[in-house]
Chain A
């Protein structure tokens, strides 16, 4: 659905800028405005870094960061691969885990009472604080990072799915009963599809948490990954390299989020045309 919105037309000292906007604003709120804002910030950052007489260790200008990105492209890429791979693995485990636990909690009163308060309790402690323990338990390899990442990222999927499964209206359930549908039929044919949009919103939160989990794990103990490289660069005061890694991390994050979003659109369309 297209939302009709009148863009706020900014004017400076009474000069009408609507003419300028009509040139720029193909769709001012969607693309031009956020990109323009980000670009303006980068320009300001460059100006401050270059003309502000600030040490590049404290604040390297964006051009230096870009330079690092180009110079160390293969090094950064080498470390991007394990981070991305482990994130995907953790996210891939979180999705079925969250959905299945949600199903269990919604359908079994016993499971709800036994599990849910404990799961919530574990979510209330600052999970980052537990990260070192995962290293103690599972070593410094990928398993500890992936497990920790799953630990922090399955919860939003669980909550979202549970909410979605329960979002079916009472009259809808009455209709199902009047058609003598089994609990399994109700779950698969009504409850689960109803919760799709909920599951995807949970997945969008989870994918960002999955990256955080992996990077935190890499901070603590790792010989590879972007988290490791950021820590390494920082310890050698190569702020520009650290920032280049962070920029790549952003790209990875946006790409994964975009994939989830695209998959959502695709699946909803497939479901719509079935």
Chain B
């Protein structure tokens, strides 16, 4: 299969000289077209930085990032991003917020209106299309933000801990919504999270990122059939895989503890 995103020995250093801080040592991995990959790791391991570099929003210190076979030099229209915050414009309605990228790209709003409505319907926001962000709950806002990332029909969806600011119940709902959307559109997704269960529920493959050195330390396939739902979370295999990942993360953190002494 063709790799949609591929990173080769990507390094990131913030600052210069004595204050320089190495956020990522050497990250090498690739994501195939239509694959759902979770980037899992303890906080501060540089996974969000890596995602921002893939989005073209952060400069790469060393190494190469290829997206659809070409070097990343800056943000691209075929990449949609969902941030941890919904980042909605408060004076625009849900629908207008979803259409915002279309407006900014200078495309015709009317051509995308039907798609926007469909996306909002798929995330169960039919009744909220004309509501403003302040009238929406945290989960609803993030769903709008998800629709906005998908409106221009990107080939890649980058998600930076999109549900980590939500409460546990809403988070579960959001996972199901995301699974439904993915089943329908089959985008290439790179999803950053620090929740093991979330990663196993959503992904085809989980990349575990460690700290010191900050790199991909494990690449684990998630074999469960799709479409998935919450019943999967109760199965033995699911929990087994979670504990495997838990051990990997412990190794990642243990490595970090060892360097402290």
Chain A positions near chain B (C-beta within 8 angstroms): 169, 171-172, 174-181, 185, 189-190, 193, 196, 268, 271-272, 274
Contact = CB atoms under 8 A, between A and B. Distances in A.
A172 B90 CA distance: 11
Contact of B87 (A172, A196, A274): A172
Given A189-B104, A272-B91, A179 B75 contact: yes
Contact of A180 (B74, B83, B91): B74
Given A174-B81, A179-B75, A179-B101, 6 more contacts: A171-B85, A174-B52, A177-B57, A180-B75, A193-B91, A272-B91
Contacts of B72: none
Nearest to B96: A274
A178 B83 CA distance: 11
B101 A171 contact: no
Contacts of B83: 171, 174-175
A175 B149 CA distance: 10
Which of under 10, 10 to 19, 20 to 34, or 35 or more describes the interface residues of B? 20 to 34
Interface in B34-71: 52, 55-57
Given A180-B74, A180-B75, A272-B132, A175 B91 contact: no
Nearest to B130: A273
Contacts of A268: 91
A190 B104 CA distance: 11
Contacts of A178: 55-57, 75, 79, 81
B258 interface: no
Nearest to B82: A175
A175 B55 CA distance: 10
Nearest to B75: A178
Contact of A171 (B56, B87, B100, B132): B87
Nearest to A272: B91
Nearest to A189: B104
Interface of B: 52, 55-57, 74-75, 77, 79, 81, 83-85, 87, 89, 91, 100-101, 104-105, 132
Contacts of A193: 89, 91
Nearest to A268: B91
B135 to A, nearest CB: 11
Contact of B105 (A175, A179, A271): A179
Contacts of B77: 180
B84 to A, nearest CB: 7
24 contacts: A169-B87, A171-B84, A171-B85, A171-B87, A174-B52, A174-B81, A174-B83, A174-B87, A175-B83, A178-B55, A178-B56, A178-B75, A178-B81, A179-B75, A179-B104, A179-B105, A180-B74, A180-B75, A181-B104, A190-B89, A193-B91, A271-B91, A272-B132, A274-B91
Contacts of A190: 89
Nearest to B105: A179
Closest 7 pairs (CB-CB, A-B): A178-B75, A179-B104, A171-B83, A172-B87, A171-B87, A175-B87, A271-B91
